[in-house]
């Protein structure tokens, strides 16, 4: 290194050491623009409103930083033109939308995408969504939702990746990469927004917007890892959540927004409130009025306000009163401008309105949506291998979800078009001679007068396919349920066709794991498809016919009864765990002694275990795990655990198995989960084929937040499983020294 380079390098190190590292070109642009702005113009950048015709004047005055819920490219260009060509500083508008699982081409709901255990496919779907949405002018989506969900009563389980932090993190990172692409300035790059920060999925009783009680340790061990993974992956924005934690609403929580997000994680993206979550701090009883809520939110570290109008109304007054420092406003606006520069909006603010429709429903988009729906479907029961129906010619198709193009798209499909939806009925007609009798008009229908027609039709068919489930409106935000069984007379319809003596295949199309134990008794096979989107019917038909094999795995535990909720595989043990011996209600003798039932942790009516565990799903073939070996039995803190094993297709059909690796820390300074997912891999095998597989797990990934709130690996005894679900396999011991 020559003297000049040594001098420059030394200067850079010295500047960095005192926190004065040279600014990047991006930061210089942001600071130059910020220096020209008045306080009112800064406040305008912090203001987001829902799209409408009254925005042009405000945009021309520089009083709006972002709009949402406008997908008309002509209207977007008009508002953008007012901002860019008429405002004093020519700052473009950032256009946002809830693009959650597709824009026009709708993919399975995120819970269904998680069931694929296929991050690469999920990334592909997010890229499709970005291409289609940005063609209409949307450059910012409020996705992915990273809320850990352990209670299926909560309707928003549909929008996330289930109960496991590791799966949640991988799916979230895949979505971030898919939305944002490799080049933020590419017109097809759509900024991701991580939500909801944080703990929203732990709502008490599964009731949306409810309180959450989460300790800091649980927050760090369970609810924050997916957010941190996505921040590390380059997510450009983040949204605060509606809930409070330990009495402090997230939108006013400086510990979350400043200490953790900015301080520990070095996040330099933008933070936006959820819809009026700033104003809702008044209803919480945390702020006395909207002005006070604005003060709390800005000082906590929020950059942009979505639809409370408090920022636009009160910030200037609060700055004059000294309750908000203008330095805090500068910090917020700097984050907003940085995002707009990163997306290339200053250079390319407009959208090609004439060709927006040409970017949707491309053949490759539909193919990706179909493959996602295929891989997301979970085979939960298949008695006597009744599926696939590859030799059957005539079938009865019945049930309210057989031909429900709108409801099949699921929640948060604002821009999906039902006329483009392929339903099971449509697709099955291409494969079979179909007799169609819906039986029920919609999922909540209790009118059974058409059952006689269904009975008559079943007599003429070789097999019956019953499509049941939930309408789209029954899951998603604010759509919580206390009872999780099939609504209306759907279970009665299944029981009715069972009387025909024909093979009965039930297809459940729903937004959450329902309590379907009573329905399993009345069918030979059950295929579960979380609202599968535009191409869901084609995927279901391929699975029933055998053109594709099911490979989905449960991303949430399936309960026997809603009374078991919350229930999740990675729970802590009690001091009296259920030991497998259960005395249920019907077996309790009269006048039994108080302690005669064993005094362990289970329900007298449903027992202990779930209906189906996390990670569970059948195939049209069977798999065997063998020769599971660790590279050694004891490891140091810097070592890597190598697990090798053989996976064999022991059946007669092609299949894909999701091999899963779980660990358990047997003794910790705080109680540790009974199992934790650490790795998984989708493996395709032909009949009789064996593949030798290998998982590598650095010991560092066994770390957790311990008794002293330190993120460490504690030496001691561990166990490891390699299996097809969270409840299977044999424990293999190892230790960390």
pLDDT tens per residue across span 310-365: 999 999 999 999 999 999 999 999 999 999 999 999 999 999 999 999 999 999 99
Mean pLDDT, range 374-381, rounded to an integer: 99
Q: Is the pLDDT of residue 471 over 70?
A: yes
Q: How many domains does the chain have?
A: 1
Q: Determine what percent of the chain is predicted with pLDDT higher than 70.
A: 97
In a domain, 661, yes or no: yes
Instruction: Give me the phi and psi of 159, to 5 degrees please.
Output: -95, -5
Q: Is the pLDDT of residue 2 over 50?
A: no
Least Cα distance to 536 among 410, 356, 701, 621 occurs for 410
pTM score of the predicted model: 0.96
In DSSP terms, which residues pair with 637 in a beta bridge?
A: none
Q: Is the pLDDT of residue 541 over 80?
A: yes
Q: Please report, for residues 193, 231, 611, the alpha-carbon distance to residue 144 in angstroms, rounded to integers and kept in the order given.
A: 6, 12, 28
Residue ranges making up the domain that contains 688: 623-736
> What's the pLDDT at 52?
66
Mean pLDDT, range 167-182, rounded to an integer: 98
> What's the pLDDT at 7?
35
Mean pLDDT, range 642-658, rounded to an integer: 98
Q: Which residues of 562-576 are buried (b: 16+ CB within 10 A; e: fewer)?
A: bebbbbbbbbeeeee
In a domain, 652, yes or no: yes
In a domain, 416, yes or no: no
pLDDT tens per residue across span 247-256: 999 999 999 9
DSSP conformation letters of 246-302: TTEEGGG-HIIIIIIIIIIT---SEEE-STTTTTHHHHHTS-SSHHHHHHHHHHHT-
In a domain, 657, yes or no: yes
In a domain, 674, yes or no: yes
Mean pLDDT, range 86-115, rounded to an integer: 98
Q: Which residues are catalytic?
A: 274
Mean pLDDT, range 417-439, rounded to an integer: 98
In a domain, 484, yes or no: no
C-alpha–C-alpha distance, residues 615 and 600, integer Å: 26
Query: Domain of 653: which CATH number?
Result: 2.60.40.10
> What's the pLDDT at 173?
98
Give the confidence band of 14 by pLDDT, cuts at 50, 70, 90.
very low
Asked if residue 55 lies in contact with residue 86, where contact means CB atoms within 8 angstroms, the answer is: no
Mean pLDDT, range 396-415, rounded to an integer: 98
In a domain, 642, yes or no: yes
Mean pLDDT, range 60-78, rounded to an integer: 96
> What's the pLDDT at 13?
41
Q: Is the peptide bond before 174 cis (omega within 30 degrees of 0)?
A: no
In a domain, 24, yes or no: no
> What's the pLDDT at 351?
97
Q: Is the pLDDT of residue 8 over 60?
A: no
pLDDT tens per residue across span 263-310: 999 999 999 999 999 999 999 999 999 999 999 999 999 999 999 999
Q: What is the largest CA-CA distance in the chain?
A: 93
């Amino acid at each position: 290194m020559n003297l000049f380079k040594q001098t420059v390098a030394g200067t850079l190190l010295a500047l960095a050491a005192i926190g004065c590292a040279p600014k990047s070109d991006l930061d210089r642009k942001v600071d130059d623009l910020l220096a020209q702005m008045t306080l009112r113009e800064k406040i305008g950048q912090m203001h987001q409103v829902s799209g409408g015709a009254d925005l042009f004047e405000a945009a021309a005055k520089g009083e709006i930083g972002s709009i949402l819920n406008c997908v008309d490219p002509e209207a977007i260009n008009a508002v953008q033109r007012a901002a860019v060509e008429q405002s004093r500083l020519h700052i473009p508008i950032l256009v946002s939308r809830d693009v959650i699982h597709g824009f026009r081409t709708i993919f399975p709901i995120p819970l269904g995408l998680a069931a694929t255990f296929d991050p690469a496919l999920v990334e592909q779907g997010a890229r499709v969504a970005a291409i289609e949405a940005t063609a209409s002018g949307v450059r910012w989506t409020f996705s992915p939702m990273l809320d850990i969900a352990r209670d299926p009563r909560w309707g928003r389980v549909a929008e996330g990746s289930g109960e496991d932090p590791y799966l949640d993190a991988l799916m979230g990172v895949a979505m971030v990469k898919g939305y944002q692409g490799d080049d933020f300035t590419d017109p097809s790059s759509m900024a991701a927004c991580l939500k909801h920060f944080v703990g929203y999925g732990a709502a008490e009783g599964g009731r949306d917007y409810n309180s959450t009680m989460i300790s800091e340790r649980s927050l760090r061990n369970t609810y924050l890892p997916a957010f941190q993974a996505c921040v590390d992956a380059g997510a450009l924005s983040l949204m605060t959540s509606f809930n409070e934690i330990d009495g402090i609403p997230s939108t006013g929580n400086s510990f979350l927004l400043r200490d953790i997000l900015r301080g520990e994680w070095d996040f330099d993206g933008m933070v936006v409130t959820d819809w009026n979550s700033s104003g809702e701090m008044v209803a919480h009883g945390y702020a006395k009025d909207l002005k006070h809520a604005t003060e709390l939110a800005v000082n906590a570290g929020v950059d942009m306000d979505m639809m409370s109008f408090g920022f636009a109304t009160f910030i200037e007054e609060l700055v004059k009163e000294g309750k908000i420092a203008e330095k805090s406003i500068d910090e917020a606006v700097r984050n907003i401008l940085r995002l707009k520069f990163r997306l290339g909006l200053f250079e390319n603010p407009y959208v090609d309105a004439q060709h927006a429709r040409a970017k949707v429903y491309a053949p490759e988009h539909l193919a990706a949506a179909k493959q996602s729906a295929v891989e997301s479907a979970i085979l939960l029961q298949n008695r006597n291998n009744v599926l696939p129906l590859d030799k059957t010619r005539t079938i009865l198709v019945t049930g309210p979800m057989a031909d429900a193009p709108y409801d099949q798209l699921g929640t948060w499909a604002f821009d999906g078009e039902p006329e483009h939806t392929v339903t099971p009925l449509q697709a099955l007609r291409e494969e079979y001679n179909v007799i169609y009798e819906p039986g029920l008009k919609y999922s909540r229908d209790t009118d059974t007068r058409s059952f006689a027609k269904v009975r008559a039709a079943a007599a003429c068919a070789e097999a019956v396919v019953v499509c049941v489930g939930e309408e789209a409106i029954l899951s998603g935000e604010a759509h919580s349920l206390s009872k999780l069984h099939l609504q209306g007379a759907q279970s009665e319809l299944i029981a009715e066709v069972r009387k025909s003596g024909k093979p009965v295949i039930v297809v459940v199309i729903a937004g959450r794991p329902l309590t379907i134990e009573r329905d399993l008794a009345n069918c030979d096979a059950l295929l579960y498809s979380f609202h599968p989107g535009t191409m869901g019917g084609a995927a279901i038909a391929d699975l029933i016919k055998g053109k594709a094999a099911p490979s989905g795995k449960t991303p949430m535990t399936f309960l026997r009864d809603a009374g078991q909720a919350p229930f999740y595989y990675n729970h802590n043990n009690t001091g009296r765990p259920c030991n497998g011996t259960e005395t249920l209600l019907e077996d309790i003798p009269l006048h039994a002694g108080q302690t005669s039932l064993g005094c362990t942790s289970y329900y007298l009516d449903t027992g202990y275990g779930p209906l189906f565990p996390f990670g569970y799903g059948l195939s049209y073939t069977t798999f065997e795990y063998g020769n599971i070996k660790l590279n050694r039995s004891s490891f140091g803190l810097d070592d890597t655990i190598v697990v090798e094993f053989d996976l064999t297709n022991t059946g007669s059909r092609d299949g894909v198995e999701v091999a899963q690796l779980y660990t358990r820390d047997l003794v910790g300074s705080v109680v540790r989960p009974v199992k934790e997912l650490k790795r998984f891999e989708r493996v395709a095998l032909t009949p009789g084929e064996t593949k030798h597989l290998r998982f590598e797990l650095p010991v560092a990934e066994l770390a957790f937040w311990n008794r002293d709130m330190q993120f460490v690996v504690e030496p001691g005894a561990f166990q490891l499983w390699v299996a097809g679900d969270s409840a299977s396999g044999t424990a293999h011991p190892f230790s960390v020294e």
